[in-house]
Amino acid sequence: MSSAAEHPSHLAAWHATEPLLVSDSERVKFANQAFADLVGVPLDDIVGRGVDQIITILDEPMVLERLRSALRQHQPFRGEASCHTAAGGTVPVDLSVIPVGDAATELFVVSALDLRRQKRMEHQLWQSQRLDAVTQLADGIAHEMNEAIQVISGYLGLAALESGRQLGRGDLAAIERASKRASTLLSELLEFARRRPATRGPIDLNTIIRQWEDLIQALIGTHLRFIVDLARDVPPIHGDKGELQQILINLVTNARDAMPEGGTLTITTHTVAPDRLITSEVLDDRLGTYLVLTVTDTGVGMTPETKANLFQPFFTTKGKEGTRGLGLATVQEIVRESGGLLWVRSRPGQGTAVEIHFPTLPQPTETPLPAAAPAPPGRGHETVLLVDDDPGVRVVASRGLEQYGYRVLTAASAAQATTLAAERGNEIGLLVTDIMMPGQRGPGLAQELVADWPHLRVLFISGYPGDDESDLVRRAPYLGKPFTPDELARAVRSVFDG
């Protein structure tokens, strides 16, 4: 037992099952056995060490600022942190810090609740809700995809019926708009569906909402009126794109389900200073302005029972199909980790408004210039080996490249490509290959051909960026399908010139 624990006033803390330590502003003065067991470090190696060597506050600017603000005001703090273990790892903990004493002898009583089991359960819930969200989005965009296909096939059918009449510029523009809309919706869905760790940083919430307007409209259907009213020139917040998208999906889905007979869904953003908040004491005015996201519906509203259970992970008002709850527990956790606050206002028959306050970050000092229109693709004369198992892709891609002066050899498989390369490998300057193909896949083909012809450059194409996560694919140039002839020619020229 450490000498600190021999004092009678420390006996209760020493025998507590909750991990505890006491420190001044620099070093640990006391730790109990439960804390030592948590981190797997002997007590003698904890007492006297710097606090920052034992505990790391969650690496989020807003959480760190909340801690500093609380300590400046001699107020308790609670937030997520990590404790360093003897094995070199970390343990996630729910950290509580309570200042005691006066300014001259101030100490901090710290408790650390192990969150490992909770984090595992949260991850499982997150994955199940994410799967639900992907399913909801897929159902929603199916209608939009069919609409786009209808436009494309309809114009082509008219051209076939009206023999001798070529499609006009207006017809071709309508086909292009339909295909781009379908491509954009599908790309957004695939990006959201990909599993990846959260990477928080400065992010523009308005941009995420604008990018997802079409997807949200597809999700809620045409029977609901959809209004988006975003404040101009809003500051960035600290967050992760996928997590913010998950918030939107959960809130929008709940709003849609609350309006089975129709209604209005409204998404707004605006900035607000802390002294104008409903409960301003909860927030520290040192943190500056907040960006407020509000999702409002005109649906059936909530009963007192529903409001009392909103943040229970598995509570639902949706019957048997709502087995994973309303998703508000996930929303609350994401908001909490961002240092934000969440309010829900609802009455039976009067709809619901969910309001989230995100702490803002300083505005960038330089305003980014609008993206310039891409330059026309340069022409070429080199030989390209194009490999794709889809005959339609081969025809369109090869004809497009030939329009820009390239000589194109085509192959339907890796085996055919290997045969062509054996005959004409010295003249082939670039391999353009699909990643996923029957038999040998594109990365394996590229590795073999580059080994035999080191001068050969490679451009991967694919309908889904998650097809392959190998180092070769991550390092090599990549072009996602669908692409236009111009986009392919531009990518090819870039690889040759790079």
- Is there a domain that residue 198 lies in? yes
* Domain end call among 92, 114, 136: 114
Q: For the domain that residue 80 is a member of, what is the CATH number?
A: 3.30.450.20
Same domain, 12 and 135: no
Q: What is the mean pLDDT of residues 199-217?
A: 90
Query: Vertex 151, ends 149 and 152: CA angle to 5°?
Result: 65
pLDDT value of position 283: 45
Angle subtended by helix axes 328-337 and 241-257, to nearest 10: 150
* Domain end call among 86, 114, 142: 114
Say what the alpha-carbon torsion angle 352, 355, 356, 357 is, to the nearest 10 degrees.
-170
> Is 416's pLDDT higher than 70?
yes
Q: Find the domain containing 390 and state its range.
A: 383-497
Same domain, 131 and 109: no
- Is there a domain that residue 7 lies in? yes
Q: Grade residue 5 by pLDDT with cuts at 50, 70 and 90.
A: very low
- Evaluate whether 351 touches 297 at the Cβ level (below 8 Å): yes
Same domain, 450 and 351: no
- Is there a domain that residue 369 lies in? no
- Is there a domain that residue 293 lies in? yes
Same domain, 131 and 278: yes
φ/ψ region of 182 (left if φ > 0, alpha if ψ in -120 to 50, else beta) reads alpha
Same domain, 388 and 482: yes
- Is there a domain that residue 252 lies in? yes
Q: Grade residue 331 by pLDDT with cuts at 50, 70 and 90.
A: confident
Q: Alpha-carbon distance 221 to 218, whole Å?
A: 5
Same domain, 226 and 264: yes
- Number of domains forming the structure of the chain: 3
- What is the model's pTM? 0.61
> Is 323's pLDDT higher than 50?
no
Work out the mean pLDDT of the chain and round it to a whole number: 81
Backbone angles phi, psi at 325, to 5 degrees: 80, -170
* Domain end call among 114, 137, 172: 114
pLDDT value of position 326: 54
- Evaluate whether 83 touches 39 at the Cβ level (below 8 Å): yes
Q: Alpha-carbon distance 272 to 42, whole Å?
A: 48
Q: For the domain that residue 400 is a member of, what is the CATH number?
A: 3.40.50.2300
- Is there a domain that residue 365 lies in? no
Q: Alpha-carbon distance 357 to 241, whole Å?
A: 16
Same domain, 157 and 95: no
